[in-house]
Amino acid sequence: MTLSFDDEGTRAIERVYATPDIVRQRAETLALLAPAAGERILDVGSGPGFLLAQLAEAVGPGGRVQGLDPSAAMNSVASARCLALDTVTITEGGAESLPFPAEAFDAVVSTQVYEYVPDIPGAFAEVFRVLRPGGRVLVLDTDWDSVVWAVADRERHRRVMAAWEAHLVDPHLPVTLGRRLTEAGFTVAAQQAIAILNPAHEPETYSAHTLRTIAGYVRGRADLSAEDVAAWEADVRAGDYFFSVNRYCVLAYKPASASPRS
């Protein structure tokens, strides 16, 4: 069962995505995408809209930024964030069927979204359709195998992380992203890892927020009792605190010679 992006889930995402760890992740993502003045950019699964606001600044008054997300709660937070930005439009909808005409965008970006999407070939065909020939797509996702958390009870930790991974359709999507984008007709130009490293348990870090989110999600699932989860949290926080995870980005181009697909 996936995470619920309702009002409470949206507030949790908004808080964690405001931490310096994710602010830096967005800066690295933007540097790789390199949005230019005047471009039309689609953010698939735009969530709380942090990236939309930064994209609007980058494309300037002559550009256009389109957010798309199936969660009404996310869209309401994103709309409030982008209220003063009249080049931003936010539409309710999903990655499986993009409600936009062919060749409508110069670039498509999507961060931490495709790991929730069951039909990746269909979703990437949609990205291909809405990009102009020569346009680019940047996809960022986590491979949850890349998590390093210092614990004494590794077996309990393994059970907790397995229960957490069940909230995603594909918790290991990054290893196949390059191939899948190539199969969808794109030419992969760059792949990059962005590491998040928290060598201490400090409140405004990605791992402090994620520890709470994981504990809340796994409690009562996969035979994990409230006591098991409390013991896991205590284990993570005891002794030498250490957390790291990798995000993986793929930047790919639609060939300039591509003919329109309907």
Ligand X SMILES: C[S@@+](CC[C@H](N)C(=O)[O-])C[C@H]1O[C@@H](n2cnc3c(N)ncnc32)[C@H](O)[C@@H]1O
Residues binding ligand X (CB under 6 A): 5, 13, 17, 44-48, 50-51, 69-71, 74, 94-96, 111-113, 116-117
The token duo for 138 is: 């940047």
Residue 35 to residues 92, 108, 145, Cα–Cα distance (Å): 23, 10, 30
Kindly state the DSSP code that residue 97 receives in the 8-state scheme.
S
CB-wise, 10 or 87, nearer to ligand X?
A: 10
CB-wise, 3 or 197, nearer to ligand X?
A: 3
Q: How many CB atoms lie within 10 A of CB 169?
A: 14
CB-wise, 50 or 100, nearer to ligand X?
A: 50
- For ligand X, which residue has the nearest CB? 47
Backbone angles phi, psi at 14, to 5 degrees: -60, -40
CB-wise, 76 or 191, nearer to ligand X?
A: 76
Containing 192, the helix (H) or strand (E) segment is: strand 187-198
Query: Residue 201, exposed/middle/buried by CB under 10 A (0-12, 13-18, 19+)?
Result: middle
Rounded to the nearest whole angstrom, what is the least distance from the CB of residue 95 to ligand X in the complex? 4
Rounded to the nearest whole angstrom, what is the least distance from the CB of residue 110 to ligand X in the complex? 7
